[in-house]
Amino acid sequence: MSQAQLEPVVAPRPRGAAAPEAGRLSSYERSLGRSRESLMRKDRPRVFTMFGHEWDLFPEVFAPVYSPSTQVAVDFLDLARPGTHDGGSFLEMGCGTGLVAAMAVFAGYDRVVASDINRMAVANAAANAERHGLGDRLRAVHSDLFAGLEPGERFDVVFWSSNYVLAPADYSYRSPHEQAYVDPGYRTHRRYLTEAPLRVTPTGSALLHFSDRGDVPALYRIADECGRELRLVDAHRVRECEYGDDMVEHLLFEIVPRTA
């Protein structure tokens, strides 16, 4: 399995600037092709190893082994080393295999929820929680964003590694797996920007993992329309490896209510 090659970013690209070869990299057809390829690959494993642990991979669930995004997410959140966090609560939206949620438990969070709209992903996350004996601290939930959570449930960290490639607003998903790759009209991003800050504790953080394969200027516009401000917390340039030598800038934003 190839690992993401992380390179530090000195300064983020201005919000209105286009990335090199942006049209090709942000192509939703290209992302949907990756979705199909990931499902059909002959080397797609049922069990894979990452961060020194074995993980189950169910059919129709995003495969971390073919994308650097999971490794980048764990790096962004400082979850790679056990005990780096002293308790607290963590919600992973769009959990897939539940790897990031499980790593949050290993890192020290004592109440973790792994949520996904894909029922197979929810089952996958639950299986990995059981595999690692985390059932008392990690709960897998089927939910369309926050709809499946208790109304008053709040978290110290709310995190979504999003389906940041923009698809046409009228595109209809052809499989649950495609939902991990593209977002038609950025409808889900708009909902997340609106709702995520409402789901954090008074000192909590609502975080969004995005990249320049998405439409960064559009994300800022939507945040403005939702009364939200995006604060860049971290960024890494990553060589995609499995799908060529493209360099992609991954971005971690904190979402906060816009102040007057």
Query: In this structure, which amino acid lies at residue 220?
Result: Y
Nearest to 204 by CA among 257, 162, 151: 257
Phi, psi of 36 (to 5 degrees): -65, -40
Which residue stretches of the chain are H helix?
Answer: 22-25, 28-40, 69-77, 99-107, 119-131, 187-195, 216-225
Distance of alpha carbon 47 from alpha carbon 225, whole angstroms: 42
- Measure the CA–CA gap between 255 and 208, rounded to whole angstroms: 7
Q: Which of 65, 71, 55, 180 is nearest to 127 (CA)?
A: 55
Reported confidence tier of residue 245, pLDDT bands at 50, 70, 90? confident
Q: What tokens appear for 100 in the block?
A: 């990031």
CB atoms within 10 A of CB 22: 14
**Two structure tokens written together for 87:** 């308790």
Per-residue pLDDT reduced to its tens digit, 94-137: 999 999 999 999 999 999 999 999 999 999 999 999 999 999 99
Q: Is the pLDDT of residue 91 over 50?
A: yes
How do residues 185-202 score in pLDDT, each as one tens digit? Answer: 999 999 999 999 999 999
The Cβ-side half-sphere exposure at 172, using a 13 Å CA radius, reads 1
Q: Which residues contact 210 (CB under 8 A, 6 or more apart)?
A: 162, 164, 216, 219, 250, 251, 252, 253
Element of type H or E holding 158: strand 155-161
pTM score = 0.89
CATH topology of domain 20-257: Rossmann fold (3.40.50)
The SS3 call for residue 9 is coil
